[in-house]
Structures are given as structure tokens and as C-alpha cells.
Amino acid sequence: MYPLTIGLAIENRELLDQAQACLQGLPFRVIVEHQDVGDLSNFLDRLERMRPDVVLVDISSWREPLEGLVASIRNAVGDPMIIALHIAADADTILASLRAGINEFLYPPLQEPLRKSLEKRSIERSRRSSSTKGAGKSYGFLSAKGGCGATTLACHVAAELGRQNQKVLLMDLDLDAGLVGFITKTKSVYSILDAVNNLHRLDIHYWKALVSNGIPGVEIVASPLALGSKQQLKDEQVRHVLGFARPNYDWTLVDLGRSLSRLAMAALEEIDEACLVTTLEVPALHQSKQIIQTLLDSGYGKHRLKLILNRAPKRLDITPGDLEKMLGVPIYCMVPNDYPELYEAYAEGRMLTRNSELGKHIAKLAVKLGGLEEESGKSKRFALFG
């Protein structure tokens, strides 16, 4: 059975006793326990830090619209199962709960129905983790030279995979200019540095407290804010953290920053494939060639390298074949140039939408990387876009 984690806010004594009696007999762990449902912001803060799989909330004395409560919980945790508990089976409240998006509504006696709901969720989660496409696959995003778009692509690919119900980890290992937190609007106070400083107690509960969420389905580890953190990270510590984290996700995406740093090289040993993001600018192509050569020389298999041509103009002066000859690896995908769209999104404090042209192309890249859809039989030239 999948080992669910549970967060609960139960004020009513009878409901609390019955829920605890039920949970004591099950192999699930309560990681957030709260008794004052009125003190919602404290509960939400703790949920956001611990991110349980299931949230049990006592709505017996909740007087506000339930939609607001559900939205706040989902905002804090992502997509947990929400079980509303109530002292009575009032038809209007049951209907209002279901309309608000609460997964289950339970009332005393709780023991049997609560056990069944949790076991059902646990079985679903086990099935999901054994049938997922990625099953722990990881991609490292490298910018050939500064500003080629590695961070932009890593963040938006993560968002798209999350949207497709994949469980994604997005980790910022760009210790010079990590922008993952900014783009994804993550409020995290923790970073990879906290993980490496606590390797001795790195377990799933500690990890869940460390990651934060800014995008549904995506857990994020932002870059350390403190300058000089690079010196504090040892290669083997970073590999240890990556090795620990990736089996817990369908996909792990890592922003490795620009060029090929020592830390990026070390991390790549733990990462299945490298997405090298370049543009057509001559210095970027020059750097790409160097990086590809260094990786191949160090034994990194050619099949593990995915070359992504970002900010591609509508008309290429050079054919994809010539580029491949020049760089030694084929172009995996091209993403068009669309600065105004990105500028507008960031100015409004959001990420690209899937309806925008650039958003659509990056979504196609995510689908291709995730092997989530058969490639269509479009002409070769256009198939490369996305």
C-alpha cells in the first residue's frame, strides 16, 4: 500500500477521537495536526511546508463558502485528497461540499468510511506510481552560454508535465543566478543547501518540508539565496540529494545554469539526459560545440544529449542538417523566438499560458520529453518545432 501522509484540522472532540482511532490502525502518517479550524492561515502554512497526500478538515463550524477553503488548501498543497468531516449528515452541506470540489464528505461513525476512503486513495497512488511514464527519469537543463533560455524552458516544461498529472520535481542548481523561484513564484525559504546540510536526516518527511510549490503538480527546490553557497556544496552531496529525490517523482528537472560548471558535471552523473539549450548566436553555437565535446569525451553517451534550439527565427539561414554536422548531435527540438509574450507574462507576474504560441511550443517539448504522446506525422521541418 502507498504510504499516505495526512494533514488534519479537526476541532470537534468526537470527530477527532474517531479519526484518530481509525488512523491508529492504518500504516499512514499524520504529519500536520491542527485543532483550531478558525486559525486557517497557520494550518495552511503548515500544509504548504509538509504537503500531505490527504487533508482531513472539520467543517462542522465553518461558516464561509467552502469554495474558498478548498481553493486555499489546493493552493497550499497542490492536489491532495480533501475529506470534509462533519458532525451531521446535512444534505445541503453535503451538496455544497461536493460542489466546492471536496473529494469525500464523512460523518460519524467515521471509522469504517474513513478507512475505506484512505485505502482507496492509497491503492490509486500505488497504481499511479507504478504506471507513470517517467518513473524517476531526470533531465538537466544547461544554457550553452548565458541567457539562451534554459531556465525558461525548464520551468515551463515542468509546469506542463505537472498539468499532465505527472509528479514533477524542479530543482534549481544554478547557484550564480537561480531564477526558478522567481519564475514559478515559489515562496520557499529552503534550498539544496538545506538538504546537503541535513543529509543525515534526509527522509521523505524532511524532504516534503523542504520542497515548495508554485505550480500544480510540481515540487520545487529553489536556489540558495546566500552568495557563496557554491563553495559549500560538494559534488557527492549534490549527487546524494539527487539520488534520494528522483525515485519520489515521475520526472526530475534540474536547472544546471550556464555553460558546464564543475557542479553541473557532477550532477549530470546522477541525471539521465542533458538538455543543452542554445540559440543561433555564434558564441552560443561555439559554446555548445565545446560543451558537447566535453560531455562526449567524458563518456556521456550521445543518446543522452538533447540539443534544443531556442529563440529560433521563423526562417533559418542554416539547415538543421548543417547544424547537426557542425555540432555533432541532432537538434531535438526548436522553440521559436517570442520575447513580447514572455515579457507580458512576467510583467503580469505569471508564467506563459498554454494558449499562447510560445506556451504551445514548450508544451509540445514537454510532451516529447515526457514521451506522453506519439509524435505526429508532420513534415520534418515543422516537427522540429516543439
Ligand X SMILES: Nc1ncnc2c1ncn2[C@@H]1O[C@H](COP(=O)(O)OP(=O)(O)OP(=O)(O)O)[C@@H](O)[C@H]1O
Q: Which of 149, 162, 359, 370 binds ligand X (CB under 6 A)?
A: 149
- Whose CA is closest to 143, among 168, 174, 170? 174
Tell me: does residue 279 bind Mg ion (CB under 5 A).
Answer: no
Beta carbons within 8 Å of 65's beta carbon, 6+ residues apart: 100
Which one among 93, 310, 364, 366 touches ligand X, defined by CB under 6 A?
310
By CB under 6 A, tell whether 349 contacts ligand X: no
According to the binding rule CB under 5 A, does residue 310 interact with Mg ion? no
For residues 91 to 130, the per-residue mask of contacts with ligand X, x marking binding by CB under 6 A and - elsewhere, is ----------------------------------------
Q: Helix or strand or coil: residue 122?
A: helix
Question: Is residue 356 a contact point for ligand X (CB under 6 A)?
Answer: no
Query: Under the criterion CB under 5 A, does residue 138 sit at the interface with Mg ion?
Result: no
What sign results for the dihedral spanned by CA atoms 301, 147, 134, 236? Answer: positive
Stretch that binds Mg ion, among 48-56, 121-129, 147-155, 320-328 (CB under 5 A): 147-155
C-alpha grid cell, residue 167 = 509528479
Collapsed DSSP state (helix, strand, coil) of residue 204: helix
Residue nearest to Mg ion (CB): 151
Contact of residue 192 among Mg ion, ligand X, none (CB under 5-8 Å per partner type): none
Q: Give residue 358's region: left, alpha or beta (phi > 0; psi -120 to 50).
A: alpha
Contact window for ligand X (CB under 6 A) among 110-118, 282-290, 298-306, 332-340? 332-340
Judged by CB under 5 A, which of 18, 117, 151, 191 binds Mg ion? 151
Please state, in angstroms and rounded to a whole number, the distance separating the CA atoms of residues 93 and 5.
26
86 DSSP 8-state letter = -
Asked if residue 148 binds ligand X (CB under 6 A), the reply is yes
152 interface partner picked from ligand X, Mg ion, none, CB below 5 to 8 A per type: ligand X
Compare residues 199 and 225 and give the one whose CB is closer to ligand X: 225
**How far apart (Å, rounded) are the C-alpha atoms in residues 191 and 212?**
10
Three-state DSSP at 65 gives: coil
Q: Is 257 in the site for ligand X (CB under 6 A)?
A: yes
Phi, psi of 8 (to 5 degrees): -135, 145
15, 179, 266, 333: which one contacts ligand X (CB under 6 A)? 179
Q: Can residue 316 be called a binding residue for ligand X (CB under 6 A)?
A: no
CB of 226 to ligand X, least distance (A): 18
The Cα 272–Cα 304 span in angstroms is 7
Residue with cell 515526457: 370
Give dist(CA 355, CA 267) in Å, integer.
Answer: 34
The site for ligand X (CB under 6 A) is made up of 143, 146-152, 174, 177, 179, 257-258, 277, 310-311, 335, 337-339, 342, 358
